[in-house]
Amino acid sequence: MDNNEEKRRYSSSDRRHEILRITPYSPDLGKLSDKQLKALETELKATIIAGKSADKFHTAHRQLSRALLEIVWRRLLSEKHERVETRRILLPPRLFYDGLLRRFLRPAAYKRYIVPHIADMHEEYFSCLSKNDEAGARWAIIRGHLYVIPSWVWSLLGQLLARVLGKRI
Amino acid sequence: MVGSANLLPTRSELEVLKILQRKPAGAYGLEIVAESNGATKRSSIYVLLGRLEEKGFVLVKKTTSTHPGLPRPIYIITAEGVRAVDACELAVVVMRGSICGQQRGKAPV
């Protein structure tokens, strides 16, 4: 393959596919934006290709791709770890007996007495996490449960009492 | 449907209404608990606010949260709520006045 042709192809708009073709073990490379790829390439070009003549372009290109792959792979791995951590933090805690609550309470009662407690629990949980207080966040969940259960029991008793008294009267 | 006799706020409901009266923009449930100095507990605040809402003294406003969890509702006092607080305070003043008057009347005897 002619060097000029190689250069032309390398500088075409389809550069991402070209890099993917040369480095077949980097499937996640396709997720990077053109801007990110270009920045990486420029950085690597400065270190690898600098001082080399045009006829060495093909070899340099392969070296560049290999180095690019390594950098991208490391970055993706670190990003993956960050992503897992973020996902764990961002999930709001839920009540494992939420289905039971919804089944035994009227929707209006659920909305009026249970939802504000859950909202408070979420607020405390996320404020603790923002301060990196994991123990506090766990305690916020436990406390939220402790406040929801009595409200639920009392509202159930109230409903039962109202039904019984309603029948008697 | 709430009967007219039940429209009278109880002592704890009155405390909540007074706190809300000081905050025209509204307050969260936990804010009210913090400001009540132990008069209302966290476990009973939403029952009280629910009752007040049923009576029409309090309005619930939905908010948006900055986190992915559920947003906390804001409770705002209504005009009826303000009138109820004023009426209760006036009733207390009148009652005190009448008690003092009776005592003054009895004193010489």
CATH code (residue B92):
1.10.10.10
Does B68 contact A125 at a Cβ distance shorter than 8 Å? no
Cα of A113 to nearest chain B Cα, Å: 6
pLDDT, one tens digit per residue, over B34-84 is: 998 888 888 889 989 988 998 999 999 988 878 888 899 999 999 999 999
- Is B4 among the domain residues? no
- Is B45 among the domain residues? yes
Does B47 contact A118 at a Cβ distance shorter than 8 Å? no
- Is B5 among the domain residues? no
pLDDT for A41 equals 67
Nearest to A119 among B43, B68, B73 (CB): B73
Chain A residues with CB-CB distance to B31 below 8 A: none
pLDDT at residue B3 greater than cutoff 70: no
pLDDT for B32 equals 92
Q: Could you tell me the residue range of the domain that residue B27 belongs to? A: 10-106
Q: Which residue of A has its CA nearest to B30?
A: A120
ipTM of this model?
0.81
Q: Parallel, antiparallel, or unpaired for β B74-77 and B58-61?
A: antiparallel
Q: Which residue of A has its CA nearest to B52?
A: A112
Question: Which residue, among B23, B18, B62, B64, has the nearest Cα to B40 in the 3D structure?
Answer: B18
- Is B2 among the domain residues? no
Q: A27 falls in which pLDDT band (50, 70, 90)? A: very low
Q: Where are the domains of chain A?
A: 3-89, 93-168
pTM, to two decimals: 0.59
Cα of B90 to nearest chain A Cα, Å: 31
Does A113 contact B46 at a Cβ distance shorter than 8 Å? yes
pLDDT for A22 equals 44
Q: A94 falls in which pLDDT band (50, 70, 90)? A: confident
SS3 letters across B14-80: HHHHHHHHHCCCCECHHHHHHHCCCCCCHHHHHHHHHHHHHHCCEEEECCCCCCCCCCCCEEEECHH
pLDDT at residue A25 greater than cutoff 50: no
